[in-house]
Amino acid sequence: MRDFPSCFGENGVQVADSSSPSTGRTAQNSVTCVYQCRLSGISCLITVTWTKNLMGQGLSVGIDDSSSQCLCKFDIKPWVFSKRRGCKNLEVDASIIDIHWDLSSAKFGSGPEPLEGFYLAVVFNQEMVLLLGDLRKEAYRKINAAPVASKASFIAKREHIFGKKFYGVKAQLCNRGQMHDITIECDTVGINDPWLVIRIDSKSVMQVKHLRWKFRGNHTILVDGLPVEVFWDVHNWLFGNVMGSAVFMFQTCLSAEKSWAGQSISDPCVLSWSCSQGFTDSQLQGLGFSLILYAWKNE
C-alpha cells in the first residue's frame, strides 16, 4: 500500500506520483485492486495487482495490516505458457496464509485483468478470506476451506488507461455496485483554451472549461444516488513532460458532501497529492470506494 493513494486525511487527498517519465510505458499496463478483510479479528488490506507486458501476464498479491506493515507478499512473474495454476503457502506469525490460483482457462481483454475463466483465492487458517473470479464452485471444490462470515470489501482500484482524446474504462464506483462506462474527453493539442468533459454511461456529468487555469480541482457528482467526489490533475498534459499522465480520482463516501463542503478547488490542502501515508483503520470506516485512473496519451 505504499504506492497507492490514501483516502481523505487531514491534509486532503493524497495520490502517489505514477507519472515519472523514467517509468516505461509497458510497465504501466497494470491494474491494482484493494480489498479490506479481517484476519483473526485484525483489519487488513489485500492488494492484488495484475500486470501485462511483452513477457505475458503477471500477478502480485500483498497483505498489509492496518498500520500499512507488510505481512506478506507473493509475486507470479509474467508467464506465457507456465505458472497459470498453483498454490503458495506463507507463514505469518505462526499462522498459515495460502494463495491459490487457476488462470489456465482465463480470458483477457485489452487490459491485464482477467475477465472470466479463472479464480484467485486467499485462505487464512483454512478460511476463505478472499475469492475472485467466476470459477467459484471449482475453487471451493479444489480448496479445503470454509467461507468466512464477513466477506472482503472492495475498497479501491488503480488503473492505467490510454488514448489521444478519449479515455474510457468500465468500473464500479462502490463495493458490489453497478458497473458503469466512464469516459474522459480532453483534447489539449493545438487548442488555445482546452476543456475537459467526463461522461458516465454516455451522459455528461461534469465539464471543466478554461483548463489551463483549472488544471487541478474537484467537483461532486451523483452516481447511483450517492455523491461522488471527482478530482483531476492534468498538469502534465498541459505543462509537463509529454510522457507524463493525468490523474483522475473518483471517491464515493456517504459523508463526502460534508467533508468537502465550503472547500475551494484552489485550496492547496485539497490539491496536495503525494504518497506519504497509507490507509488506517479509522480512515477506512468512512472511506467508501476510490477509483484512481492514470490517463496516458498515445503518441
Q: Is 235 helix (H, G, I), strand (E, B) or coil?
A: helix
What percent of the chain is predicted at pLDDT more than 90? 37
Segment 163-178 shows an average pLDDT of 82
pLDDT in tens, 251-290: 986 443 333 333 333 333 333 332 222 333 333 344 578 9
Candidates 74, 30, 293, 35; CA nearest to 184 is 293
Burial 160-180 (b: 16+ CB within 10 A, else e): bbbeeeebebebbbbbeeeeb
Q: Is the pLDDT of residue 129 over 60?
A: yes
Enter the pTM of the model.
0.77
- 20 backbone φψ class: left, alpha, beta (φ>0; ψ -120 to 50): beta
Q: For residue 262, how many other CB atoms are within 10 A of its CB?
A: 6
Contact between residue 1 and residue 47 where contact means Cβ atoms under 8 Å apart: yes
Q: How far apart are CA 100 and CA 14, in angstroms?
A: 33
Q: Is the pLDDT of residue 8 over 70?
A: no
What was the pLDDT predicted at 295?
92
What was the pLDDT predicted at 243?
67
The domain spans of the chain are 6-24+160-297, 31-153
pLDDT band at 175 (very low <50, low <70, confident <90, very high): low
Q: Is 178 helix (H, G, I), strand (E, B) or coil?
A: coil
What percent of the chain is predicted at pLDDT more than 70? 75
Which residue shows C-alpha cell 478530482? 231
Contact between residue 161 and residue 294 where contact means Cβ atoms under 8 Å apart: yes
